[in-house]
Structure 1
Amino acid sequence: MGGPNLEVFKFALYLFVPIAALVHFGDPQWYKDNVLPYKDKLFPPDARLLQTIPKDQSAIREELARIKAERVARRAARDAQEKE
């Protein structure tokens, strides 16, 4: 059908595309410039993450109360800012 030249071209393309992608996206400077800023937007900072999971019921209730209080405070601040 296509002949040996087509097969050589397809084989070269199959090898070139992944290698070119690894060279381009595997560059540490590209990672620092493009991935890390987006990661900071997508995921919360480590200070906001809960490092220990509460195991007993009272600790879970305390954590939920803390989260709800933070949410209410943010909502109140946002409402106050909108009224200004």
Structure 2
Amino acid sequence: MGGPNLEIFKFSLYLFVPIAALVHFGDPEWYRTHVVPYRDKLFPALDRTVQHIPTDQSGIREELARIKAERLMKRAQREAEEAKKSEQ
């Protein structure tokens, strides 16, 4: 048994650790320098994500057709670049 001094130490440690973590990690400057760049690496930018999800069947088909057209366009551009490189 540790006695009252040990209990006071444990209680102060239980209070100090969460408060110190909140003070350190809750700083807006720390958030901007450490979290925001990592978030940008993990998640795509908002302009690249679909903000309005279609709910009806025709809207879904239109969105799928748009995505397919974008992929075909990117593929055609990539093949054209590869053809240029192979010609040189």
Calculate the TM-score normalised by the size of structure 2.
Answer: 0.76
CA RMSD of aligned residues (A): 2.2
Letter in 2 for 1:68: K
Structure 2 vs 1, CA of residues 78 and 23 (structure 1 numbering), >3 Å: closer, same or farther? farther
Structure 1 unmatched ranges of 5 or more: none
CA distance in structure 2 between the partners assigned to 1:71 and 1:21 by the alignment: 46
Letter in 1 for 2:11: F
Q: Which 4+ runs in 1 deviate beyond 3 A?
A: 71-81
Q: Hey, what does 1:62 align to over in structure 2?
A: 62
Identity of aligned residues (%): 71
Does structure 1 residue 24 correspond to structure 2 residue 24?
yes
1:20, distance to aligned residue in structure 2 (A):
0.5
1:43-70 Cα distance to aligned partner (Å, 9 max, x none): 1111112122213212211101222333
Q: Hey, what does 1:47 align to over in structure 2?
A: 47
Structure with greater Cα Rg: 2
Calculate the TM-score normalised by the size of structure 1.
Answer: 0.79
Structure 2 vs 1, CA of residues 42 and 2 (structure 1 numbering), >3 Å: closer, same or farther? same
Structure 2 unmatched ranges of 5 or more: none
